[in-house]
A and B are shown apart, each in its own frame.
Chain A
Amino acid sequence: MVDKSILLDNKKFTVGIFDDSDKLLHAVNTLKEKGVKIFDCYTPFPVHHLDHALGYHRTNLTIGAFLCGLLGCLSGFTLAYYMNVVDWPMIIGGKPQDISVFTSFIPVMFELTILFTAFGMVIMFFARTRMIHGIKEDLLSRRQTDDHMVLAIDNDQDQSLSNKDILELLKKEGAIEVNDSKEAFNTSLTSEEELTKILKSNKTSTKKTKKK
């Protein structure tokens, strides 16, 4: 497998790990107010208003989706018109086979519009987010897809506050864990020790639920 390499370029990050989305959002807003540049946040679920707080613009994928839909619609028309009118009109019962039967092309045009929009948009989404089968993820916390929310700050960027101040601010905002030189990793690089720990916590939780 190849690496995703958004984070893996030997970069070091200052990270604050939160266990509550409201606290994370508040921390992002506070850091932004103080002029700290945030690299990105990693959350197990979509946190509302987080993208606005981070200053991200709404994605342009919708325009792409519209264009794909238009292409699908035109393809549907071209397909039906070429086959049934231009190339080989099937005259059944003397009924006309020209542009006047346009209405019976509508279902196919409609279905192809939807098909092209869906596939076009999802493919664009994967391309834009650098997702493909077999690519390796890069994580800052093993639990960022479980219950941890990671706020990452790129150490190479110049910040208005010192590293120490940022760490203190993150703690004050309720981060359960802070680290000023965290490197990205992927699960294939995780130590066996960590795996055993997770396995243990998993087993205890199973027992608990069974007792209930």
Chain B
Amino acid sequence: MYTADIRQPLVTGGKTYSDVTKDVCRPIENKPTPSWWLGFSIAVVLLLVLAGTLAWTVWEGIGTWNVNKSVMWGWDITNFEFWVGIGHAGTLISAILLLFRQKWRMAINRSAEAMTIFAVFCAAIFPLFHMGRVWLGYWPLPLPNAFGSLWVNFNSPLLWDVFAISTYLSVSLVFWYLGLIPDIATVRDRATTKARKFWYGFFAMGWNGSAKSWGRYEVVALILAGISTPLVLSVHTIVSMDFATSVIPGWHTTIFPPYFVAGAIFSGFGMVLTLLLIARHVMNYQDYITTEHLEAMTKVILLTGSIVGLAYITEFVIAAYSGYEYEQYAFANRMFGPYAWAYWTMMFCNLVAPQVFWSKWARTTPWFIFIISIIVNIGMWFERFVIIVTSLHRDFLPSSWVMYHATWVEVGIFLGTFGLFFTCFFMFAKFLPVINMAEVKTIIKDKE
């Protein structure tokens, strides 16, 4: 075992291998706690809100939203971007941090990957329903259509997005499931009820932990991490191209791909922190998700928050320097126009607030990190709102300038996606091991 004396142990509390198994399997093997039921009920209520508002949208039409011909993307694509961004932390943690050999990832990668998958589900709802006729949602796929041999347009970034997001979702699912197999086998071998024995046995696929399997398994995990790394970066790059390849002032900038990727990691870590701080408290996982873990994540928040802040300022400076009147107006309008409140909320939440993490106290105090993580989530939602709405509401033709405010249906769908997200997450916390037992067992004695 490798030990570095200046480092704190990755797992505290002197846990043994069987302690890890017992602690992680406890929620699966016992009845859910009252706090689980409470959280789950709230999530299901919100899920019903989602179902209701989506049904109303389909029944009545997109007219139930306030999107119009100037602001055609409104809350809908804002929410899509928001959820896709959140979906970036999971694969970043499990893939990029694996390549960087950051062992602290092992206690948090399972829940972060789960979060990724659920967030992408939530994201997918928005473009699908924005089509208006959701039953024709398969049209962006490269299928020969019924009215002739017209195919999808491969020159369109929107089509690249379809490929990127669906690849990202399926590869993340595979990566997550592969990581789950040894742990599902652990639950199977401890199973005391017939149902648990059957279902966990079914999904464990006969895993028995032989050295040969582990050898192959590790190579597969490494390659998956290797290919997931460019995948994570490509997804938000392509999402940013939805904007950057247009000729709308405020969107048409080359800085978008790196800026969006940094923003995605930033918001993803914000959400991971929010969820983990709750899970750690409710499930008593303080020995596995230690303050060291929180500190490491806050450092990522600090770094990516600063990158995002730098991008905001760069964007502004370049607009001022460009000598291009429309670009200059778009940015001045963001800062001082009717949506200035949104712009300054974004600036405060994303650029100013995370700077508190320069202080060691802020990085190691859970309740404070929780507050900042919520602020980060809010800030990143506003970033997308600012980019989309302020760039669209005043275009080249002053006669088509409008103000845009969401209707209750749009707000309901957004709140409803939180219901979907948390319903999935609560189910995951009840039925699957939230911490990667097999990986945590390898670092139990490490200080790194």
Contacts and interface: CB of A to CB of B under 8 A. Distances in A.
Interface of A: 1, 4, 19, 22, 40-48, 50-51, 54, 56, 58-59, 61-62, 65, 69, 79-80, 83-84, 87-88, 90, 92, 101, 104-105, 107-108, 110-112, 114-115, 117-119, 121-122, 125-126, 128-139, 142-147, 187-188, 195, 198-199, 202, 205-206, 209
B212 A108 contact: no
B209 interface: yes
Interface string B133-161: 00000000010000011111111010110
Contacts of B218: 46
Given A59-B219, A88-B151, A145 B186 contact: yes
Interface string B172-189: 001100100110011011
A136 B201 contact: yes
Nearest to B438: A45
5 contacts: A45-B441, A122-B178, A125-B217, A143-B189, A206-B22
B442 A146 contact: no
A146 B213 contact: no
A144 B17 contact: no
B432 interface: no
Contacts of A56: 211-212, 215
B447 to A, nearest CB: 16
A87 to B, nearest CB: 6
A111 to B, nearest CB: 4
A130 B155 CA distance: 42
Contacts of B205: 126, 131-133, 135
A137 B21 contact: no
B289 interface: no
A146 B23 contact: no
A30 B18 CA distance: 27
B216 A44 contact: no
Nearest to B200: A187
Interface centre among A58, A62, A108 (most CB of B within 10 A): A108
Nearest to A5: B206
A46 B192 contact: no
Interface string B90-105: 0000000000000000
A56 to B, nearest CB: 6
B391 to A, nearest CB: 23
B210 interface: yes
For the residues of B in contact with A, the DSSP-based class is helix
Nearest to A129: B213
B302 to A, nearest CB: 30
B192 A195 contact: yes
B189 A139 contact: yes
Contact of A137 (B160, B164, B206): B206
A119 B441 CA distance: 28
Given A4-B206, A199-B192, A88 B150 contact: yes
Contact of B17 (A111, A146, A209): A146
Contacts of B405: none
B17 A105 contact: no
Given A107-B157, A147-B441, 17 more contacts: A43-B211, A61-B216, A61-B219, A62-B219, A108-B154, A111-B160, A111-B164, A118-B171, A121-B224, A122-B220, A122-B224, A129-B217, A137-B204, A146-B190, A188-B201, A195-B192, A209-B23
Contact of B155 (A43, A104, A110, A199): A104
Contacts of B210: 40-42
A139 B211 CA distance: 13
Contacts of B252: none
B29 A202 contact: yes
B30 A146 contact: no
Contacts of A136: 201, 206
A154 B342 CA distance: 70
Nearest to B13: A212
B201 A137 contact: yes
B131 interface: no
B215 to A, nearest CB: 4
A69 B260 CA distance: 27
Contacts of B182: 44-45, 145
Contacts of B217: 46, 125, 129
B227 interface: yes
A114 B223 CA distance: 11
B203 interface: yes
B155, B189, B213, B234 interface centre (most CB from chain A within 10 Å): B189
Contacts of A112: 163, 167
Contacts of B203: 133
A131 B175 CA distance: 16
A147 B444 CA distance: 12
Contact of B22 (A92, A115, A195, A205): A205
Given A42-B209, A138-B208, A199-B192, A146 B223 contact: no
Nearest to B21: A146
A101 B155 contact: yes
A43 B26 CA distance: 21
A133 B18 CA distance: 27
B230 A114 contact: yes
B25 to A, nearest CB: 8
Interface string B419-448: 000000000000000000111011000000
